[in-house]
Amino acid sequence: DAKTTQPTSMDCAEGRAANLPCNHSTISGNEYVYWYRQIHSQGPQYIIHGLKNNETNEMASLIITEDRKSSTLILPHATLRDTAVYYCIVWRGSQGNLIFGKGTKLSVKP
Amino acid sequence: DTGVSQNPRHKITKRGQNVTFRCDPISEHNRLYWYRQTLGQGPEFLTYFQNEAQLEKSRLLSDRFSAERPKGSFSTLEIQRTEQGDSAMYLCASSFGQGARETQYFGPGTRLLVL
């Protein structure tokens, strides 16, 4: 599975959009980009995933570049409850384990 | 709540004791995963089951660790002769695997402290 690179930490003002970048330059054609987040002392929570098209759900939007070497997770109106560690994972989407890095610690500030 | 559940949520034990954790996956999910997470790190894969068959084990899963999923529903993870280095959060995830594109859903974890 491809390796991902994320910033260690980011800050965002409450009510503003949080844009979390992820680089995955070695992604294979059959690998998906998954995003999870982990609020302190809880299990990881699935957010969204995509292959090559942009995706949106009730939690977030995922923008994948045309060459698929990077992506951005967008939380449109961040709240204090969005403070968490966000993990970008590249995975073929079937069987096998997810490989987590250290993620991005997002701090939403009032 | 129909999510993944784990019990107990917290466990404190003395070095050398055996501990067992339980995971109840989302109903009808055929795949079940165990991960371990230490402070400041992302979760690391331990093992996974498809139905009752244990299909993959990480090198992290020493011979003191054993996992079962006897009827393809709930799973247990046992650690024998615990060591202080076993202190971690143990996470369970489940998914419905049918071809490509499955999503793993995680439980709240069991936090183990070995004294």
Coil/strand/helix, residue A38: strand
Determine the pLDDT at residue B96: 87
Tens-place pLDDT, residues B39-61: 989 999 999 999 999 998 998 88
pLDDT > 70 in chain B, percent:
96
Residue A43 to residue B48, Cβ atoms within 8 A? no
- Average pLDDT, integer, range B3-23: 97
Which chain B residues in 8-67 lie under 8 Å from chain A, judged by CB atoms?
31, 33, 35, 40-45, 48, 50, 55-56, 58
Q: What is the pLDDT of residue A95?
A: 67
Query: Residue B19: pLDDT above 90?
Result: yes
**Closest listed residue to residue B58, CA positions, set B45, B71, B49, B42:** B45
- Check residue A66 and give its pLDDT: 95
pLDDT reported for residue B23: 98
pLDDT of residue B72: 86
Where does the pLDDT of residue A4 fall: very low under 50, low under 70, confident under 90, or very high at 90 and above? very high
Are residues A93 and B58, on separate chains, in Cβ contact within 8 Å?
no
Cα A48 from Cα A30, distance rounded (Å) = 17
Picking from A32, A43, A103, the nearest residue to B109 by CB comes out as A43
Tell me the per-residue pLDDT of A51-99, one tens digit each, with 9 for 90 and over.
998 999 999 999 999 999 999 999 999 999 999 999 999 987 676 788 8
